[in-house]
Amino acid sequence: MNRRSFFNRSATLALGAAVGSSSGLLAAATGPSLDRKRVLRAAHLTDIHVMPEMEGHQSPAAGMTDALRHAQAQADKPDVLFFGGDLIMDALKLEKEKVTAQWDVWGKVVSAEVKIPAKLCLGNHDVWGWGIRDAALETEALYGKAFALERLALKDRYYSYDQAGWHFVVLDSVQRDYGNKHGYTARLDDAQFAWLAKDLAATPVATPVCVLSHIPILSACVFFDTDLEATGSWLIPGAWTHIDARRIKDLFRKHANVKVCLSGHVHLADDITYLGVRYLCNGAVSGGWWKGDYQEFPPAYALVDFYDDGSVENRLVPYRRA
């Protein structure tokens, strides 16, 4: 089976599972209606990890360019690009000059190649210095998320907006945590959680909601990222998937119009439905960090179609020529 047929097949199977589980478990959640209309098409590009050329890696700038051209050249064009975080290879552990060099490549490719509106969320690797843990660095104005926000001209690290009859919420999954080796944990800070609760409460119940985050709120593919089970337990690090998933799930339970959550971070892909919410983890544009595929998943982006009945279709698109 070639890659294309694998991806088409897995998308179809996943959709079947999602429809089956939602209609079986919850009377309120029904499958897509027959006369639904597509209202928006997005290309979700996550984990691009762009950086200057590096030996032993495929060219990140050329790869990012290929992905952007491929997505925007679709006969059925996307209306918007979602950049899902980990835009650059790494700012967590690198000094300022190297982080600047990566943002420079990002800026160059974006200004040459992005032709349609785009929305962005921050990933862990877009945060400067948390992996270094240097007190002097903490006094720098660009420390933490400020560097990325400035380079991306982003006013807020989380926000929401309306488009095509849908409400879109963009979250910031990454909170500083020096208590683990990653320097961060995947969760919403209390202020952001309170904002999210208010934002959802203010959204009309008839308006479907899509949540975009870098790190998955809920994920199945994280089980296969490294051989976790070798310890005899499935201990999923809180840096891999939202450690506050329970309270977010409880919040979503109060809002039946929350339909879909898009994420990346794992560089693997999955499609799961839990309590009527579809969680889609959409692989990585960089695949295995510009060294080819990551496990079964080649470098890819996703095309996400939004419908007026609150349903979505999601398809992973490998964009590199064989």
DSSP symbols for 190-222: HHHHHHHHHHHHTS-TTS-EEEE-SS-SS-SGG
Please, which residue, 18 or 281, has the CB nearer to Zn ion? Answer: 281
Q: Do 151 and 206 touch, CB atoms closer than 8 A?
A: no
Which tokens hold the place of 183?
Answer: 């320097």
| Distances in whole angstroms, Cα of residue 175 to Cα of each of 171, 240, 280 | 11, 12, 22
CA dihedral (289, 295, 299, 303) positive or negative: negative
Please, which residue, 216 or 318, has the CB nearer to Zn ion? Answer: 216
Piece of the chain touching Zn ion by CB under 5 A; list 44-52, 63-71, 228-236, 310-318? 44-52
Piece of the chain touching Zn ion by CB under 5 A; list 41-49, 55-63, 113-121, 298-306? 41-49
Site map 45..74 versus Zn ion, x via CB under 5 A: --x---------------------------
Nearest distance from C-beta of residue 125 to Zn ion, angstroms? 6
Q: Do 266 and 242 touch, CB atoms closer than 8 A?
A: no
Rounded Cα distance, 261 and 168, in Å? 10
Residues 6+ apart with CB under 8 A from 303: 41, 42, 43, 44, 71, 74, 78, 314, 315, 317
Rounded Cα distance, 122 and 193, in Å? 16
Number of chain positions touching Zn ion (CB under 5 A): 2
Nearest distance from C-beta of residue 42 to Zn ion, angstroms? 19
Please, which residue, 15 or 266, has the CB nearer to Zn ion? Answer: 266
Q: Which amino acid is at 245?
A: A
Please, which residue, 88 or 243, has the CB nearer to Zn ion? Answer: 88
Nearest distance from C-beta of residue 134 to Zn ion, angstroms? 23
Site for Zn ion contains 270 (CB under 5 A): no
From 14, 29, 83, 86, residue interacting with Zn ion (rule: CB under 5 A): 86
Piece of the chain touching Zn ion by CB under 5 A; list 80-88, 109-117, 182-190, 217-225? 80-88
Summarize as ranges the residues that interact with Zn ion (CB under 5 A).
Answer: 47, 86
